[in-house]
Structure 1
Amino acid sequence: MKQKLKSLLTYFINEFSPTEKKISVQNLSLFFSILLASFILKKRRTTSLEEFRTFSEYYTAFSPELEIIKKRFPDLVVALHVTESHINPELFRTIIEKLKFVFDDEDDDFDNIISWAYQFLKKDLEKAAFSKIGKDNVKIQNSDLLYTTQFFTDNYMVKYLVNECLSDFNHTNIDSIVIIDPASGGGNFLNYSFECLFRIYKKKFPNWSDTEIVDCILTNAIIGYDLDSNLSKIASLSLFVKACGYAIPSATTSIKIYGGIPDDTLGFLNPDVTSNTIHKSTFKSQLSKIKKEEKTKVFVTNPPFMGKRDMDTALKSYLIKNYPESRGDLCVSFIQRAIQLMNENDVLGLVAQNSWMYLSSLKEFRKLFLAKQTLKECIDLGTNAFEDINGEKTNVALCVIGNSEIKTSRFYNLKYRNISEKKYSILQKNISPELTFELNQNQFLKNSHLEFNYQLEHRFENIEGLPLYSAFGKPMQGTSTGNNSEFVKYAWEVNGSPDWKLVSKGGGFSKWAGLNYYKVHWGENAEIIKANKGSALRNIDKIPSTQLVYSDTGTLGLNVRILIENQVFIASGPGIQVLNGDKYAHLAFLNSRVATFLLKLINPKFTISAGYISKIPVATNILDSKFIAKISKECLELKEKYLKNKLPNFEFQHYDYLSIKNIASHIENLIIADMESDYKRLFLESKIEKEIRKHYNFNATELKELQSVVGESPFFNTKKSFKCTAEAMDLLISASIDWNCLSTSRAINGYSVGSESIFEDLSYKLNVNPKALFEFITLNISQFKNTKDKYFNDLLHKIILNEIGVKKISIYKFDIIMLSNLIALLQSKYAFLRDYDNLSERVIWILQIHHKSSFFNKPLVSYCNDSLTVGQAHHG
């Protein structure tokens, strides 16, 4: 139903253009809230919806429903009429037809659909607010604060948290509790809480009428507050409609969801929280009443997410002064405020960024927490847990917190599952034992930063005494340029200018070698960067003695490369100095599944900071192992040889294209050579993996846990047969390589580890040992039409670049060449192109489409008016 609604509202916004009509999102959201509320009430009364086409017919058809709403929310119905006058009849007719489609499924769940309408409608405002950040030091403030911190909670999260928070209450003590959501948003938590409470009240008070139960719950057991006053109205309507599903509340029964007042940016974080008044009460007075009556508070909430970097000065200063342990983090300050209000039997269930459990900057908050609270249960969801939002901001955990003297904590690690698996596991409460960790919370007091590293604390006792990586290597932050768009360019954009240095920037996943596309405006000793006001020079003096670099984005795990000659590193491609051991053994270890697994145990973030790599426990003798170093060298040599034939890497070298005698066999040989390189490297990596695991001496349980996070080398798969046609294999391989026939990086199916190996990807997809795949590919290569077509285009692209004088991607001569001259040259020099049909059309396509994509939409060569310009925009 949500996706149907999203589609409807996207259509409406495109057709209606609210900005041009000067209609606010607030008014539009109220308009759709009333429409949806009336449809829900009608649907619960009858399964059929009458036909109508105009506003007038709508008012007639929904007269009973609108009357119910009007008695409770007369101002909202006025908003409906105001917005109606701006919508043309034809658009309204289409919207109604689409609304009927939204409601056509008898089994659909209507809960929270009113609040989701607001979430979808405010998307453009949210984007506009975020787009201001970073421009002239603009910070998020005023109404933008609301748009950028509102992330509504998916139903499966709501149900889990409410069910867990109410699990210790039953029909004997249920009337002693009050559900409170201090960041109620559209009312999702309160709606489901009402449903649960009604069920329990019905059991406790069998002689009460449904109306009596509804009135009692709304009057005594549910309170909400949101800083966004408009949203509090929507939440109130949503809860009212939910209640009407059981019985229409009495006219004197209040819906106690309070809204913030204008210009207030603190809301719940202010102990003297201000709000609107509902029947002579405020949110603050309700909290005081609960305290006086000694009721048990059950907080369920999804607090706003924002770090201090994007805050305006006033809010940041207030948080640091009043919640110093939370270090200016809005979400953590919210948790701290809720905890301040909690008594012995109170419970807090929340959706929170999981970084509060790990970040060293929040040590003092954890110290405060561990002294008084117990994290009773935590489902660590990681990223991609929400249906409609993603990114690092959504790296979340579902937490149930209490003041219990029993310090037992239970953790469930679902970080590396897809959203469907997360939802199923939580709703069914069916989480496998290897992903479940139960321990005494006091164990976290043992580590220096009080981090909630539940996996390391719970198991892997044999690595507790191991030295950390910092004893062998020094991971270092790189220089921040202050403006990468100005100071970092692709190598071909600056054409050999001596002030531009080859740089490790990261920007992808690549092990052993690679990603050497970029240059930085450096000067002799970073003096050009230093002159930029926003820059921060770091570890400049360490660059000559640095051997390794890595990508700081860690969604796919560690990927470490050799720092090549005359290359520098910056913030997104940091460096590692080898202090003890063999640099090749370091390279192999850091690229292993074991290293990525251990890193993921201690690092909850997308970004891999130097400090987290330093904390990886290292088994004895790995980093000076001659055996590991030897295999590592072979992997590196294979990768370097592979990259020499791949655009647009800095390492790229042309070969003798004139030596090509038979184009068909040559293309097949190119494919086989790449496949063989991929296969050999993957096999060598499996040998490294096996050797490293021997040093750690993992037991069977620990190995199973490791495999659940980062998978297993496909060479450990004993299966030798599989079902696949040559045509299907061709499509799989073709989809696995980019325009330059370079194997693309990806997450291995179902695991939180990356790969750039075609064989690894296919082995997982087809559940077979790579050897069987290699034999199949070799045998059927002649039938791989799509793959061969890609390789031919890549070859023709290279030949064109070679013939127009681009011998290296970073050094070339500005030139203008007529297409006819190029075609004549190609046909005279290369026999296999002489009889090629439509060579001119193919070359134009290569120049206009293929080349542009191959060079990341920053083409070195442009084509216009039957001529080619080499370095037109970038001849520097």
Structure 2
Amino acid sequence: MLLKNGEIILKQKIRSLINQFIGNLNIEEKKISVKDLSIFFSVLLATFSLRKNSGLKIDSEYASYRSAFASEFELIQQRFPELMDIFSLIESQIRTELLINIFEKLDAIYQEEDGDLDDIISWSYQYLKRDLEKAAFKKVGQDNVKIKNSDLLFTTQFFTDKYMVKYIVTQALSGFKGARIRDVVLIDCASGGGNFLTYGFNILFRLYQQTFPSWSNQAIVDVLLQEAITGYDLDNNLSKIAALSLFVKASIYAIPSPATTINIYGGQADDNLGFLNPDIISDTIGALTFRTRLDKIDKAGKIKVFLTNPPFMGKRDMDTSLKNYLQKNIPESKGDLCVSFIQRIIQEMNGHDRLGVVSQNNWLYLSSFSDFRKMFLEKETLIECVDLGSNAFEDIKGEKTNIALFIIGDSSDKTTHFYNLKNLSYHEKKKMVSDKAFPIDLTFSLAQHQFLKNNNFEFNYHLEHRFENIQKLDLYANFGSPMQGTSTGNNAEFVKFAWEVNGNPDWKLVSKGGGFSKWMGLNYYKVNWGTNAEKIKSNKGSALRNIDKIPNTQLVYSDTGTLGLNVRILKENQVFIASGPGIIVSSGDMYAHLAFLNSKVATFLLKLINPKFTISAGYISKIPVAPNILNDTFIADLSRKCLALKEEYLKGKLPNIEFEHQEYHLIKDLDAHLKHCILSDLQNDYQRLLLESEIEAAIRKQYNFDEKELKELNSVVGELAVFNKKKMEETDIEKLDMLLSKTMDINCFSSSKSINGFSVGSESILEDLSYKLDTNPSFILSFIKKNISQFKTTKAKYFNDLLHKIMLYELGVKQIFTYKSQVVSIESLIRSLKKYTFLAKRDDLLSLITPILLKHHQTSFFNKPLISLSGESLTIGYSHNG
């Protein structure tokens, strides 16, 4: 069954089978090592694949497995006797009923599967070893444990999706045709399960058939295995599985001759350097090690085509010996394992050699890799770069896999072709790469020497021929000074919520970040500061940074997250620490700065200069600023209005320090009050959205973006919601009510989120709904106003929030950061609630307030409740109050 749309593919079936198998293991079977289980499954799958290759039906049951598959077992025994020994041992240790179950399921899969079986053996290993991988990762960060020895193998092995393999192999071999193909040797120095080599074998076989039509299949198979394919993996066990996988692949065309070697080498025990060591300690095949085989290939004048997916790991997680080795011997790579592999391969490459690699894309632009880029640009040519970004693997998610596909080697015109697919979905990336069909607006062809002109030799391909008008602009560093914040060394001890420390004068209001919030907000943290950070200074692991600059600091920002740049006003007597550091405005209007940095344009420009999107002082300093923006009185005035609206909004929202109680006793008509609160919040939201759109329009005008540039900007951060001209279509009120309720948290506070998959955040409920409903926010607001009486779910949410606030008020919590600690009976609380007109006649108050006390309050205060319930009593005051 071929992969098409949403159909189940073989790999997914094998994953499901292995998950079921692991789930059914008994206590004794669970003691079998992942290594031995992987070999067992590899041999099992190899027998099925060999039978499939032969065209014979399986047509047997597990009871007759050995005899029915005698020829397949004999082939594996002759070539891989050590694997067969382990297979037989493990087979004897697994219950017969479980083996029967596996056999029957595999039989069903192979009977109906007509798709690509190349990687089935290596993928079975990938799924089996996940438990061991998880265990190794759990060690990281515990008592400064680093990854080393065998754990290094499990935590750095990320197998490559087939669409990437096909693209890399095809593009790396392009141009090698005719008699020249006889000189090509495919090499994978981190071969894993052999995915690159098995697919490379397939391509080479076809090319040999075209070039040497008189050759038999047997002759081609033997020559390819003996001379044209070699690999190495530090994991000796995995190298054997790769060899078995390649053998099965070759057998489709002809069974390799007994004397033909399969040249995939394995590492040695306790060696954590492997290919990183130029000596490359390995086992021996046919009297040659991997090192001597490479030397023999060079001596024969062959063309080496490296195809690989190197291991991914930063120096933070490495053990000291590996880190020190890389810093001493491959210093340009800054201790990054993946980049170190690329550099080592380049050291092995000669004039006509080529490299196709799946790599993290951070070396293209991070300042720490400037020395590596300079070395690379002077020695090699980057022929192609398919910049995939994150979420490019089917089975691996997250920013760790922010990757690109690279073709590196000899190029006569020294031109690099970039394909920017970072902002597309996984399925869009896969289709474009598989079809080799890249839209013109995502394609950039640039002369490589241009990158040598950059200060840090960055491959900022977006900026070379487009956005030319911004390249000569002044950088933000000329107008403001973004700074790092102090590291306490132990936030769990030194940073707490304001209500946890209840007015303790040593604890100062602090900008910690911890989320996405523009203009104002996230002000519910305090830090054990003392008079001038002496409390933190006394902590051995702390690092005081820029505390002398705090009195002159006007703005703060969140330096974590991927939702975009978000900047706020530093409040009076507030300090800042790491993750919520500060900015000093040195030139221009503070409010214009605030507006500019909160714009989608600023986030877009930050992503251009730093595609991995690290929000740091250094990168903010590099944002190019159009003339007059930071002095613009119109933009500054709009900024003040946004700030005032945000402050007004925060006054009604727990647990912000800006929160103020209302005059609850004035509420006579509960339903009218709830409707007023909902519409007031939405009106505030809408006014901010309009003001932000005016700011955005004014800033974009100053940059003078052309139509193509605006299109790219919108593809990254999204078009402004207010520019959507579509009217509200007929909408189900109940569904919209549910949708509206879900856009806010338990405190009826708008939840910051990524808008419809774009790389930018939003705090606007109406903007979120506008994208989801594809309509102008004004129509949504008008519709809600008209039908507000029917928004029962949203009103219920606002009622719970109101009751929670009134309860706090009646319990004496007039301010969340300073209050009187006391114990109050539930009975007295209920009596005090009865004085409110809309609660006076309710006889269900106990059932109403109990879930508020037990769950709502806990969630509202980030699981650090200010009120605790014990029996019939309520304790007001956080017990750990500093």
Among 788, 803, 806, the residue aligned to 2:813: 806
AA in 1 matched with 2:34: V
Matches within 5 A, 1:51-70: 52=61, 56-60=63-67, 62-70=69-77
C-alpha distance in structure 1 between counterparts of 2:799 and 2:121, whole Å:
54
C-alpha distance in structure 2 between counterparts of 1:509 and 1:700, whole Å:
30
Match of 1:426 in 2: 433
| Structure 2 spans left out of the alignment, 5+ residues | 1-9
C-alpha distance in structure 2 between counterparts of 1:415 and 1:63, whole Å:
50
Among 5, 22, 28, the residue aligned to 2:37: 28
- How far off its partner does 1:872 sit? 5.4
Among 340, 347, 364, the residue aligned to 1:340: 347
Match of 2:545 in 1: 538
- How far off its partner does 1:451 sit? 1.0
Match of 2:13 in 1: 4
- How far off its partner does 1:577 sit? 0.8
C-alpha distance in structure 2 between counterparts of 1:730 and 1:568, whole Å:
40
1:741 and 1:101, CA in 2 relative to 1: closer, same or farther beyond 3 A?
Answer: farther
Match of 1:134 in 2: 141
* 1:483 aligned onto 2:490: yes
User: Is the 1:492–1:874 Cα contact (8 Å) retained in structure 2?
Assistant: no
Match of 1:228 in 2: 235
Match of 2:78 in 1: 71
- How far off its partner does 1:103 sit? 4.8
Match of 2:836 in 1: 830
C-alpha distance in structure 2 between counterparts of 1:116 and 1:816, whole Å:
60
* Greater mean deviation of Cα atoms: 196-205 or 582-591: 196-205
Match of 2:603 in 1: 596
C-alpha distance in structure 1 between counterparts of 2:44 and 2:835, whole Å:
71
1:36 and 1:524, CA in 2 relative to 1: closer, same or farther beyond 3 A?
Answer: farther
C-alpha distance in structure 2 between counterparts of 1:20 and 1:502, whole Å:
56
User: Is the 2:607–2:613 Cα contact (8 Å) retained in structure 1?
Assistant: no
Match of 1:168 in 2: 175
SS at structure 1 position matched to 2:177: coil
- If the length of structure 2 is used for normalisation, what is the TM-score? 0.95
Deviations 1:173-215 (A, max 9, x none): 2221011110111112112212211222222233333333222
Matches within 5 A, 1:393-472: 393-472=400-479
Matches within 5 A, 1:81-96: 81-96=88-103
User: Is the 1:343–1:403 Cα contact (8 Å) retained in structure 2?
Assistant: no
Match of 2:226 in 1: 219
- How far off its partner does 1:92 sit? 3.7
User: Is the 1:183–1:225 Cα contact (8 Å) retained in structure 2?
Assistant: yes
Match of 1:374 in 2: 381
Among 293, 299, 313, the residue aligned to 1:292: 299
Match of 2:862 in 1: 856
User: Is the 2:126–2:159 Cα contact (8 Å) retained in structure 1?
Assistant: yes
Match of 1:549 in 2: 556
AA in 2 matched with 1:391: G
C-alpha distance in structure 2 between counterparts of 1:107 and 1:653, whole Å:
67
Matches within 5 A, 1:403-802: 403-802=410-809
C-alpha distance in structure 1 between counterparts of 2:791 and 2:715, whole Å:
34
* 1:310 aligned onto 2:348: no
User: Is the 2:518–2:566 Cα contact (8 Å) retained in structure 1?
Assistant: yes
Deviations 1:263-289 (A, max 9, x none): 111111111111111232221121011
- If the length of structure 1 is used for normalisation, what is the TM-score? 0.95
C-alpha distance in structure 2 between counterparts of 1:110 and 1:364, whole Å:
42
Among 25, 30, 48, the residue aligned to 1:39: 48
AA in 2 matched with 1:392: E
- How far off its partner does 1:57 sit? 4.8
- How far off its partner does 1:50 sit? 4.9
SS at structure 2 position matched to 1:30: helix
1:111 and 1:481, CA in 2 relative to 1: closer, same or farther beyond 3 A?
Answer: farther
C-alpha distance in structure 2 between counterparts of 1:766 and 1:209, whole Å:
62
- How far off its partner does 1:134 sit? 3.4
* 1:243 aligned onto 2:263: no
User: Is the 2:500–2:878 Cα contact (8 Å) retained in structure 1?
Assistant: no
C-alpha distance in structure 2 between counterparts of 1:732 and 1:555, whole Å:
24
C-alpha distance in structure 2 between counterparts of 1:394 and 1:479, whole Å:
30
C-alpha distance in structure 1 between counterparts of 2:655 and 2:16, whole Å:
40
User: Is the 1:191–1:242 Cα contact (8 Å) retained in structure 2?
Assistant: yes
C-alpha distance in structure 2 between counterparts of 1:597 and 1:865, whole Å:
54
SS at structure 2 position matched to 1:173: helix
Deviations 1:831-851 (A, max 9, x none): 333455744333222222222
RMSD: 2.2
1:50 and 1:814, CA in 2 relative to 1: closer, same or farther beyond 3 A?
Answer: farther
Among 150, 157, 164, the residue aligned to 1:157: 164
1:434 and 1:17, CA in 2 relative to 1: closer, same or farther beyond 3 A?
Answer: farther
AA in 1 matched with 2:540: K
- How far off its partner does 1:538 sit? 0.7
C-alpha distance in structure 2 between counterparts of 1:213 and 1:500, whole Å:
76
* 1:13 aligned onto 2:22: yes
Among 842, 846, 861, the residue aligned to 1:840: 846
Deviations 1:676-695 (A, max 9, x none): 11111111111001000111
Match of 2:5 in 1: none
Deviations 1:287-335 (A, max 9, x none): 0111011111111111112222222222222212221222222211111
User: Is the 1:380–1:415 Cα contact (8 Å) retained in structure 2?
Assistant: yes
C-alpha distance in structure 1 between counterparts of 2:816 and 2:674, whole Å:
23
SS at structure 2 position matched to 1:349: strand
Match of 1:323 in 2: 330
SS at structure 2 position matched to 1:16: coil
Match of 2:3 in 1: none
- How far off its partner does 1:597 sit? 0.8
User: Is the 2:54–2:252 Cα contact (8 Å) retained in structure 1?
Assistant: no
1:750 and 1:424, CA in 2 relative to 1: closer, same or farther beyond 3 A?
Answer: farther
C-alpha distance in structure 1 between counterparts of 2:531 and 2:106, whole Å:
64
* Greater mean deviation of Cα atoms: 103-112 or 315-324: 103-112
C-alpha distance in structure 2 between counterparts of 1:603 and 1:575, whole Å:
20
User: Is the 1:417–1:750 Cα contact (8 Å) retained in structure 2?
Assistant: no
Match of 2:4 in 1: none
